[in-house]
Structure 1
Amino acid sequence: MSVGRLVIISNRAPSVDGSADSGGLVVALKDALSKNGGLWIGGAADQVEEPAQTLRFHERPDFDVALFETDPQIYSDYYLGYSNSVLWPAFHGRVDLIDVQSRYASAYREVNKRLARMVAPALRPDDQIWVHDYQLIPLASELKSLGVKNRIGFFLHIPLPDLHTFMAIPDWQDVAAWFGQYDLVGFQTRRDLANMINIFRHALRGELRANGHIGINGREVAIGCFPISIDVEGFRQLAMNGAQSTDPAPLPRLIGVDRLDYSKGLPQRLSGYETFLANHPEYRSKVTLLQIAPPTRDKVQAYRSIRAELEHLSGRINGRFGTVEWTPVQYIHRALPRDELAVLFHYSRVGLVTPLFDGMNLVAKEYVAAQDFADPGVLVLSQFAGAAEEMPEALIVNPHDPHDIAEAIRTALDMPAAERIERHQALYAHLKVHDVAHWSAAFLKRLKKVDDLGLDRVARFPDLNLRLNAIG
């Protein structure tokens, strides 16, 4: 099969003129899109009461952008409703936060069906399609129902839960079947890969084949592990350039940068920091925690609740330990420019990345990339972040245990320079090779190799762990 354009489809599109291409995904895919001519299809920033029935095309020098519009109420039920009040909490293990509304599921299916009707006429026979993330899981199924024969890959940026958590989604078997309509499904971690195999087995009677693919109903689905990354050299350069004109913090700084989301473990992190200050009074007035938590999805009650909890905890810690001269927690509830974040990472002694459950967490990689080779800081990383599979030289912690976080903070602050340098060298060496360009190239290379095979090549493997290292 010849390789034509790369067609990226995501919930959000890049800027139509290329003026705001600092986002990680756009940076990751620009080269791949421009190589053979590319098209990025995504949702318009503003939804309208009378949405257009076709894609709106915009030409850029490097690739084309096409926008789709949706009725505001349907979009809200699709995005804030099903995507972020059903799938997001379920995929992050918070089944207690799932909000089941029949209109949410209907809107989710309708948006994907409508998008497929708009995308199909824009495709060429040799296009390769790459769909991104949980908002668009049904899209391959909808495209194929319209007769689309193109090779279609899917990448899940967030974690995939285990089978029993996945089954908390009311229509979980439909969701599993939608995954099974792709030619290649990519995940961040081996953990997610194992969960997908188990879900396919139970929902669709999928069988693992000798080539590492899954046989489902007479066709193959390729699966693989493709850990996403960052533009390592680019982010490092941002940090170095900014540091030349910025002075370091007066006190050793701990830093956390996270969207204000319940999956990020922010209350648990602050509890760990509070435990650290309580158990190690010698550090009071000698360190500070800068927590940057930009708002997200404020219309969802769970997000309003986490904001209130975080503000309460930071106020409690400052009231308990603070002095006129020293504020233990500096809390910023807004986004900061990427170049400013790079400098803050550079001048922070400890990077705290402690999500309760995360697909990857690129903040961990940005923190490492921004460090001074001669005097690097220390990364404290949750065992439940996808990044932990790639970054064993970080201090790995259980984010649910405040004492574990507290002791990791103390260890990081007390760590000799030689050990800090050794850990950082190992982390940076891995990142430099496995950067964002490596991620996109690995996925697209695998997608090009996908072929259609029959069930005569099925091989059953009772021990899943024996097969995981052969996949990806």
Structure 2
Amino acid sequence: MSRLVVVSNRIAIPDGSKSAGGLAVGIMDALKNTSGLWFGWNGEISEISGEEEDDLSLVEEDGITYASVPLNQNDYDLYYCQFSNAVLWPALHYRIDLVDFQREAWEGYCRVNDLLARRLQPLIKPDDILWIHDYHLLPFAAALRKLGVKNRIGFFLHIPFPTPEIFNAVPTHNELLEMMSHFDLLGFQTEGDRQAFLDNLGELTTLQPSDTCLHQAFGNTFQTGVYPISIAPDSIRKMAEGPLPPKMAAMERELREAKNIISCERLDYTKGLPERFLAFEALLEKFPQHRGKVRYSQIAPTSRGDVQAYQDLRHQLETEVGRINGKYGSLNQTPLFYLNQHFQRSLLMKLFRLTDVGLVTPLRDGMNLVAKEYVAAQDPQDPGVLVLSQFAGAANELTAALIVNPYDRDDVAAALDKALTMPLEERRERYNDMMEVLRKNDITHWGESYLQDLLAISPHDVAHNAVA
């Protein structure tokens, strides 16, 4: 069996202090089954600069080898802060107004991808298959090919891919697209994202038409596919069912006194938090019967707090919370709670189970696993209702949710009213429909389906010779 080598921007070597989530859950089993290697940045900033390089750190844990390197301050600033998060993140989420392109940052982005490829190359065995993750590493296959690596190299994009009208605004979009064509298999969350990528390619080069997902562009042959990432629903259910901590038992009694809406995501302008607060205000304004009887808790831990756009967002939210609570609160009731702090995942699942409505309304999201986790955490006999943005990838699968346009506060307010008053029979029916989807396409199926398609591709040298 071929060994799996996973590459992601950041890796966290397990220390037993917290449970794995997100990407880690999706690939951990596959890595264990092949005695695999996980490579990436360890999150540390090195004091070394210039041409010097830090030692590679290798740690083995539970059958997996973790290989990591630090970055120096300059590379971290240019590659991570500036190009990845001030150019690609806003552009790929359709926020061109927030893009801050600097040529130096682009050069730093490419340099770090070359550096990481150079550090990984000696660890690669001839039969390894490589699986690269997310927008930080779009040039990674091209960097490896320059070094002569001929292994199968797959890529999965966890966030959206924009249409040409948006992506063309990135000054180096043509170079990025050519670099991406060096991957053997490009995986996307939705068919819309996959098609947007192909539309971008078609505007720059002749894209050979195909009835399958096999394509030729820039002299490269590659495949594309749709692989919506998911969760482990049984694991989520077990966390949600577990006994409540003592402090939370008291919270449960308090929560039972009102209908409860909950949202949880990191503080980010793509999540539509200001629009969500205004929609909640519209609920209280247009449906006065809920005043004093509903409580909305927004959990949003700080993300990228050194970026001005995120600082501005936090200030905006704090202002809105004070205004809405001042307008609709009372001495014994606060309608809107805004918690700018991190909660343990196991505790969040218990909170999800106790609440009546999960409000997940990003302005644009690749998938949004919180929506899936909320559903999986529910009590099957008395489930809550999911209100979900049409612009989250999860909306393509969780069609039994109440699907809304997050830009239309009245639409979201009406959906919240429907959710808060929905009969038990309808809630159960919607929950069962969504759970059937989650069980059919769980996180294990996601990983297996992608890797099966990647393994079916001939190694690069064989495929290249066949095309030639």
TM-score (norm. length: structure 2)? 0.94
* Gaps in structure 2 of 5+ consecutive residues: none
Cα shift at 1:210: 2.7
* Cα distance change of structure 1 residues 53 and 207 upon mapping to structure 2, 3 Å threshold: farther
- Residue 361 of structure 1 aligns with which residue? 368
Q: SS of 1:100's equivalent?
A: coil
Q: Report what 2:229 is aligned to.
A: 228
- Kindly state the Cα deviation for residue 410 of structure 1 after the two structures are TM-superposed: 0.3
User: What is the CA–CA distance in structure 2 between the aligned matches of 1:131 and 1:450, rounded to whole Å?
Assistant: 16
**Cα distance between partner residues in 1 of 2:110 and 2:297:** 41
Report what 1:80 is aligned to: 81
Matching residue of 1:38? 36
Q: How many pairs does the alignment contain?
A: 456
Aligned to 1:201: 202
**Correspondence for 1:177:** 178
Q: How far apart, in 1, do the equivalents of 2:104 and 2:423 lie?
A: 57
Cross-structure match for 1:464: none
- Quick one: distance in 1 between partners of 2:184 and 2:258? 52
Using the TM superposition, give the Cα deviation of residue 21 of structure 1 relative to its aligned residue in structure 2, in angstroms.
4.2
Residue 274 of structure 1 pairs with residue 281 of structure 2: yes
Q: Which stretch shifts more, 8-17 or 251-260?
A: 8-17
| 8 Å CA contact retained: 1:219, 1:455 | no
Corresponding residue of 1:462: none
CA distance in 1, matches of 2:118, 2:55: 8
Cα deviations across residues 36-55 of structure 1 (Å, max 9, x unaligned)? 21000010121111174452
Q: Is the 8 A contact 1:14 1:20 kept in 2?
A: no
Cα deviation, 1:208-235, whole Å, max 9, x if unaligned, reads 3233211124432110000001111101
Identity %: 42
SS at match of 1:69: strand
Q: Which moved more, 1:149-158 or 1:70-79?
A: 70-79
What secondary structure is seen at the aligned counterpart in 1 of 2:403?
strand
Equivalent residues in 2 for 1:51-62 (5 A)?
52-62=53-63
CA distance in 2, matches of 1:232, 1:272: 29
Q: Deviations over 1:294-325 (max 9, x none)?
A: 10001111111111111111111100100001
Contact 2:182 2:220 in 1 (8 A): no
Taking structure 1 as the reference length, the TM-score comes to 0.94
Distance 1:193 1:239 in 2: 34
Q: Is the 8 A contact 1:30 1:62 kept in 2?
A: no
Quote the Cα distance in structure 2 between the aligned partners of 1:167 and 1:96: 13
Check whether the contact 2:160–2:365 (CA below 8 A) recurs between aligned residues: yes
Supply the distance in 2 between the matched residues of 1:244 and 1:68 (Cα, whole angstroms): 38
The amino acid of 1:121's aligned partner reads: P
Q: How does 1:151-190 map to 2 (within 5 A)?
A: 151-190=152-191
**Equivalent residue of 2:117, what SS?**
helix
- Per the alignment, residue 141 of structure 2 pairs with 140
Q: 2:26 aligns with which of 25, 28, 39?
A: 28
Corresponding residue of 1:413: 420
3-state SS of 1:208 partner: coil
Q: Which residue of 2 aligns with 1:394?
A: 401
Match of 2:132 in 1: 131
Question: Displacement, 1:15?
Answer: 1.4
Distance 1:244 1:145 in 2: 54
Q: CA deviation at 1:17?
A: 4.3
Q: How big is the shift at 1:20?
A: 3.9
Mapped partners of 2:411, 2:341: distance in 1: 28
Within 5 Å, give how 1:73-472 maps onto structure 2.
73-242=74-243, 246=249, 247=252, 249=255, 250-451=257-458
CA distance in 1 between counterparts of 2:245 and 2:109 reads: 48
The answer for unaligned runs of 5 or more in structure 1 is 458-472
